[in-house]
Structure 1
């Protein structure tokens, strides 16, 4: 029905207007529900995006904080230093393992049952210096050698 038909005997203008209002109300109510569903969907998406932004802010803050705490990252542990391929070096390290402390070249020569001559002590000292240069031993003070702490 597009308009009132006043020529019909059963025509009631009040009912016709109420029917038009009801029809219009149903259409508008449908549109409201549709738009409300879209708003709910957009609000949920907005919440997800805000949460993602907040996570990024927290990540940035954490990374900056970590960078400020430790500007130089720790060096990764490399392969252990290679011991020179000579039985005397293995014997020296065995003595250090048994003693468990610091030794001087003279004390090491005595522990290895070498003659305590100047030449023998100088040879032992040269081997100790070579082991120290490779990081296998540490010279804690001039002439005093020990194993590094693990």
Structure 2
């Protein structure tokens, strides 16, 4: 008959073996997940870039008057409101900011970036934002995020008050400024 201590040691050893095996699987899956995220990110960026180029070139083609056009008859195309749940292929995925538009219309990673910047007490650098959106602070992720930050600046969601330092261009609906608690009835 096996003693109680020996039985507990055997069970502990078996549990430790299962934990080590699961940790090894998690490490493998984490590595695989990171490489697949990188592929996904590259494909998404490529698609967004192509959509921008198509939108820019199609907008230029339709907006340029021809020799026979008098000019005043040409009407600028009206932009349709962007719905957060609608994903249209070939459309600009990061819309230009306009009054009443919330960060809900942005793709997830862009929304995360805008929210992190909005929650910060001051302008942030890409290397500060990357870990806060759940990415490893490696050069590739920092540079990819910097590109997204620049796109958000171009589209009016963020400002770059100093080179490489990004802040919110507009208050984000539903969030409070980090300094909003300091305003005690200021008349300014």
Q: Report the TM-score, using the length of structure 2 for normalisation.
A: 0.35
Relative to its length, the structure with more helix (as a share) is: 1
Computing the radius of gyration over CA atoms, which structure comes out larger, 1 or 2?
A: 1
